[in-house]
Amino acid sequence: MSDDAPTSTSRPDPMSLPTVQQRGFFYEELQEGVRYVHIPGKTVEDAENGMFSALTMNPAALHHDAVAGEQGEYGKRLVNSLLTLSTLVGLSVGHITVGTTVANLGFARVDFPAPVFAGDTLFASTVVLSKRLSRSRPEVGIVVLEHTARNQDGVVVCVAERTAMMRRQPQDA
């Protein structure tokens, strides 16, 4: 063993080290007209589609019934569009908004230009369309985000315009 090898007594207590905590972007850090690409992607499993549809009380055969799916327009079961939307927004959270969002204020537009099937992998990106300071709460700003999901072939499967209330950067930061 080398004399340069660290020993357990030479390591500092991890709790005494400077800390970097994962978080999304504060209002001031988000830039209009920038495309934020989120990783990793997410492969949608058949069981997730069935579970999501059941949990949300959606009994549509095109999500649950393989025979009905085969006889339908696409020849197989479709992934529930609200699972697609939820996955799209979820893929953005760790990168953009975790710990910095105060509230999701709403969706102005949600489009599903192409279907999603079990086994498809979704990749997400977000563009900041606009932002402004809150008129009533000086500690937050209002940000309009456009989230886009593409499948493994690069086909756009969902676009959602979402408005969020975002924390402003603390003064002591």
String of DSSP letters for 110-162: EE--S---TT-EEEEEEEEEEEEE-SS-TTEEEEEEEEEEE-TTS-EEEEEEE
pTM of the full structure? 0.87
pLDDT digits (tens, 9 = 90+) for 102-133: 999 999 999 999 999 999 999 999 999 999 99
pLDDT digits (tens, 9 = 90+) for 23-43: 999 999 999 999 999 999 999
Q: Tell me how many degrees the CA angle 111-116-120 measures, rounded to the nearest 5.
A: 135
pLDDT digits (tens, 9 = 90+) for 129-164: 999 999 999 999 999 999 999 999 999 999 999 999
Q: What kind of architecture, by CATH, is found in domain 31-167?
A: Roll (3.10)
Break the chain into its structural domains and give their ranges: 31-167
CA separation for the pair 82, 103 (Å, rounded): 19
The one-letter code for the residue type at 158 is: C
CA separation for the pair 139, 171 (Å, rounded): 10
Q: Tell me how many degrees the CA angle 38-43-46 measures, rounded to the nearest 5.
A: 150
CA separation for the pair 170, 168 (Å, rounded): 6
User: Which CA distances in Å does 74 have to 52, 66, 106, 116, 119?
Assistant: 20, 12, 31, 10, 15
Tell me if residue 168 falls in helix, strand or coil: coil
CA Rg, the chain, in Å?
Answer: 21
